[in-house]
Every structure is written in structure tokens, then in C-alpha cells.
Amino acid sequence: MLDFNYMISTKILFGKNKIERLGEELKPYGKRVLFVYGQGSVKKTGLYGAVTDIFAKNNMVYQELNGVQPNPRVSHVRQGIKICRDHDIECVVAVGGGSVIDCAKTIATGVYHEGDPWDMFLQGDSSIKKALPLGVILTFAGTGSEMNGNAVISNEATKEKLAIHHDALRPRFSILDPTYTFTVSKTQTAAGTVDIFSHVLEQYFSPTKEAFVQNRLAESLLKTCIVYGPVALSKPTDYEARAQLMWTSSLALNGLLGYGRISDWATHGMEHALSATYDVTHGVGLAILTPYWMEYVLTKETSDKFVEYARNVWQVTGENDLAVAKKGIQKTREFFTDLGMPKTLREVGVKENALETLAEKTVLHGDVGKFKKLSKNDALIILKNAY
Ligand code: NZQ
Ligand code: ZN
């Protein structure tokens, strides 16, 4: 176990009707609110009315930033920062999935940043000092953004997608009412489940050998996705399935699994290059790339970890370790395809002549991967295999 400093500060209000707490939770942070949401699901579900009623009852003045797209754009962040400055906003409320939350986080810190917000993504985390307080109402289980200090933003002009990380970006509170996710489509539910699964894998496939408790925690989260992902697909209003996925989403990427060990994140590196270029749904990109990454990095040196994964997560049995390891990868691919995810980059419209550029973008800021370091050439081979 490596040394670490534990910091997971977001207050979670989990369960039906927890939105009733919104006014009380916002009280310490002020009366002038920026209300950030996406492209319309909050209006269809009635959440928009519920939130604005609470603002009114609590004498809060709110400005709106709406229309935030999946793979949120820096242009939206710029608009949000301008609104905050023009209206002397005191706190931000994000209602949506990872895209809305990440946009809101970047606005919350961008207000304090002199110059263009994209600079923060190029300069790195040390450029972040503080942020406006952020409250979240989660409507989509997947990214874990509701409980972490990460924000991922796309730059439509440069076709880049980059992340920032800072404890100041952690939401002060997040309201997790599983019933809000009943309306998430089958494809998006599947993509969210794959994203959760992938977050766990990125930390599970670690070069740190001594991480017993982290590994057992990780395996239980993976099994939760395996059990409840299909239930949520076949019965979107199954409360227990939605609740299990929602809490797993938060636990998978709030930092808990990564403490005390090094994480990999190579597959996310490749996927961010992909969704920056092709605007692919994040979880869909991960579903395609993950099994190919596994096949590429499975070697004699890494096989122990794959055997542990296959035996403990998929209950694969057998004497031959290599066969067991391969079976675990096969099970992973089948799980994703059973959720309805595509298997190849070709199926999501990627052009073969773009693979080189995707590989370049993957390593634009240096090699990726800690379980197995990937150079541009390694990334290119994986992308070609996935094509
Ligand atoms: O825009 P609306 O109309 O709200 O529709 C959204 C969107 O089209 C819809 N949706 C959300 N809640 C719904 C709903 N539809 C019906 N009913 C509901 N209750 O779902 C679609 C996808 O939403 P989005 O927020 O884009 O999904 P997700 O949560 O997967 O976020 C993806 C973004 O987060 C980044 C990804 O790269 C991507 O940009 N990530 C953020 C991370 C983080 N902050 O820690 C880590 C992840 O690895 C990831 O990179
Ligand atoms: Zn992810």
C-alpha cells in the first residue's frame, strides 16, 4: 500500500425525494445561483420545475445556462463564466449527468481564472486555486463526477478533450435520487454502466501489487455492474437496479479505489482522443476499446492480474492461467455486447485513415498507462485492432 491523503468531501443525499433538501443545502452558499442543465431531459422529467420552485421558495435569484451537450464544449464554459461575472453569481447548481456537472465545475473555477478557461486544461491542475460552491442533482449514473474533483471538457476548435483535477472542484453536495434515472435510454444506461465498469478497471489494473482491500472493493463494484446493468436495461424503472448503479457510479470514481495504489487510465486516454474527434458517447468508446486494450497488454508479466480478474470477477475456473486470463477478457467483451454496445470503431463511424491521428492525440501530452505504458505506436496497434 502506498501512502495517501484521503479527501472525499462531497455530502451525499441519497434516496427518493431528497431534492426537498435542496434549499437547505444551498443556504450557506448564497442567493444568486447559476443553474446549469443539458439539452432538455430535465424539462421532460419535471425536474426543471421542481428545482426552480425550490429556488423561488427560498428567495433565490437564478440565471440559466442550458443546452450543455454530451462531451461538453469549452464555448459553453465561456458563456457560463460570463453569466457568473455579469450577475455576481455566488453558487452553481448542476442538474444532469457528467457533461453538465463537468461544465458547471469548470465554470465554477473558471470564474476565478484570468484569461481563457481552456488555459487551465493546458497549464494543468496547479493553475486551479478555488471555485464557487457547486451543488449537484444527478440524473445519470456513469462518470462519478457527482463525487469527485475531475472535469473533462472538449475544445471544438482544436478537437481536443482534456481533464482537470482539483479538490476545489468537488461538489459541496450531490442529491442522488435513483428515480431520476428511470428515463435514461437503454443505450445511455448501457454506456453509463460500461463507464462505471471501466473506471474500476482503470484502477484495478494497477502496477501496485499490494492492494488487497482496494482489489476486493473493486471486484464488488464490478460485480454490481454485471448484476444490475442488465436489470436496468430490461426494467428501466427497477428502483434497486438504478440505486445500485447510481451508488456504484459514485464509489467507482470518488477516489476511494485509487488510494494507496497507482492507476492506469490508458483506455480513457484513447477514448478521450476518440470522443474529442468523433463526438462518440464516452461509454460506447470505452466498450469498444477496453477488450482490445486488455488483449494487447496481456503478457507473461501481466497475466497474474488478468487471472485474478477472471477468477474473482467472472468465476472462471481452470488450471491453465493463460486460458483463464483470456476467458476473462472474452467475458468482458460479451458483457458489453450483451448490453448492446458495438464491438468496433468502424461501427461508430471512425475512418481508418484517422487512426494515426487518434494515436497521436492519445499521447499528445506524454505516454499513457501505468499498468502498461503505451507509446503512440502501442496506441495505434490497439486502435487498429479495434477498428
Ligand atoms: O442533455 P440532456 O437532455 O440532459 O440529455 C442527456 C444526454 O443526452 C441524457 N440524460 C441525462 N440524464 C437523463 C438523460 N436522459 C433521460 N433521462 C435522464 N434522467 O443522457 C445523455 C448523456 O449525458 P452525459 O451527461 O453526457 O453523460 P455522462 O454522465 O456519461 O457524461 C459524459 C461526459 O463525462 C466525461 C465524459 O468524457 C463525457 O464528456 N467524464 C467525466 C468524468 C469525471 N468528471 O469524473 C470521468 C469520466 O471518465 C468521463 O471522462
Ligand atoms: Zn469514464
All domains in the chain, ordered by first residue: 11-180 (3.40.50.1970), 186-386 (1.20.1090.10)
Q: How confident is the model at residue 37 (pLDDT cuts 50, 70, 90)?
A: very high
197 Cα: distance to centroid of ligand 2 (angstroms): 9
Distances, alpha carbon 85 to alpha carbons 78, 311, 371, in Å: 11, 54, 43
Among 282, 289, 368, say which to mutate for ligand 1: greatest number of ligand atoms within 8 Å of CB: 282
First to last CA, the chain: 38
d(CA 316, CA 337): 19
327-331: average pLDDT: 98
Instruction: Report residue 61: phi and psi, to 5°.
Output: -100, 125
Rounded to the nearest integer, the mean pLDDT of the chain is: 97
321 Cα: distance to centroid of ligand 1 (angstroms): 38
Burial class from Cβ neighbours inside 10 Å (0-12, 13-18, 19+) for residue 115 reads exposed
CA 194, chain centre distance (Å):
10
pTM for the model stands at 0.97
- pLDDT tens-digit series, residues 266-305: 999 999 999 999 989 999 999 999 999 999 999 999 999 9
How much of the chain exceeds pLDDT 70, in percent?
100
Among 41, 77, 194, 341, say which to mutate for ligand 1: greatest number of ligand atoms within 8 Å of CB: 41
100 Cα: distance to centroid of ligand 1 (angstroms): 7
Instruction: Tell which atom from ligand 1 comes closest to the C-alpha of 68.
Output: 1
211 Cα: distance to centroid of ligand 2 (angstroms): 22
On whether the CB atoms of residues 31 and 60 are closer than 8 A, the answer is: yes
Instruction: Give pLDDT, residue 308.
Output: 98
Q: For residue 205, give every residue at least 6 positions away whose Cβ sits within 8 Å of its Cβ, in sequence order, or none.
A: 264, 297, 305, 309, 371
User: In this model, does residue 360 exceed pLDDT 90?
Assistant: yes
Instruction: Tell which atom from ligand 1 comes closest to the C-alpha of 40.
Output: 3
Residue minimizing CA distance to atom 40 of ligand 1: 143
Look up residue 261 and give its DSSP letter: S
Instruction: Give pLDDT, residue 335.
Output: 98
238 Cα: distance to centroid of ligand 2 (angstroms): 24
- pLDDT tens-digit series, residues 220-273: 999 999 999 999 999 999 999 999 999 999 999 999 999 999 999 999 999 999
Q: Indicate the SS3 state at residue 126.
A: helix
Instruction: Tell which atom from ligand 1 comes closest to the C-alpha of 192.
Output: 30
User: In this model, does residue 136 exceed pLDDT 90?
Assistant: yes
Residue minimizing CA distance to atom 50 of ligand 1: 152
Instruction: Give pLDDT, residue 365.
Output: 85
> From the CB of residue 182, how many other CB atoms can be counted at a distance below 10 Å?
17
On whether the CB atoms of residues 188 and 245 are closer than 8 A, the answer is: no
d(CA 82, CA 356): 37
Instruction: Give pLDDT, residue 277.
Output: 93
What is the number of residues in the chain? 387
Where b means 16+ CB within 10 Å and e means fewer, 55-67 reads beeeebebeebbe
Instruction: Give pLDDT, residue 367.
Output: 84
Instruction: Give pLDDT, residue 184.
Output: 98
Instruction: Tell which atom from ligand 1 comes closest to the C-alpha of 47.
Output: 19
Instruction: Give pLDDT, residue 293.
Output: 98
Ligand 1, CB cutoff 6 Å, lining residues:
38-41, 45, 70-71, 96-100, 102, 139-140, 142-145, 148, 150-152, 180-181, 183-184, 188, 192, 195, 253, 268, 282-283
* Residue position matching grid coordinates 497507482: 262
Instruction: Give pLDDT, residue 1.
Output: 96
Ion ligand 2: residues, CB < 5 A = 195
User: In this model, does residue 366 exceed pLDDT 90?
Assistant: no
316 Cα: distance to centroid of ligand 1 (angstroms): 33
Q: How confident is the model at residue 138 (pLDDT cuts 50, 70, 90)?
A: very high
On whether the CB atoms of residues 146 and 9 are closer than 8 A, the answer is: no
Quote the radius of gyration of the chain (alpha carbons, Å): 20
Listing DSSP states for 192-214 in one string gives: HHHHHHHHHHHHHS-S----HHH
Instruction: Tell which atom from ligand 1 comes closest to the C-alpha of 37.
Output: 4
Any bridge partners for residue 35, and if so which? Answer: 64, 93
102-125: average pLDDT: 96
Q: How confident is the model at residue 322 (pLDDT cuts 50, 70, 90)?
A: very high
Alpha helices in the chain (DSSP H): 22-26, 41-45, 47-57, 74-86, 98-110, 118-123, 186-204, 212-234, 239-252, 266-278, 282-297, 303-314, 321-338, 355-362, 376-386
Sign of CA dihedral 335, 336, 340, 346: negative
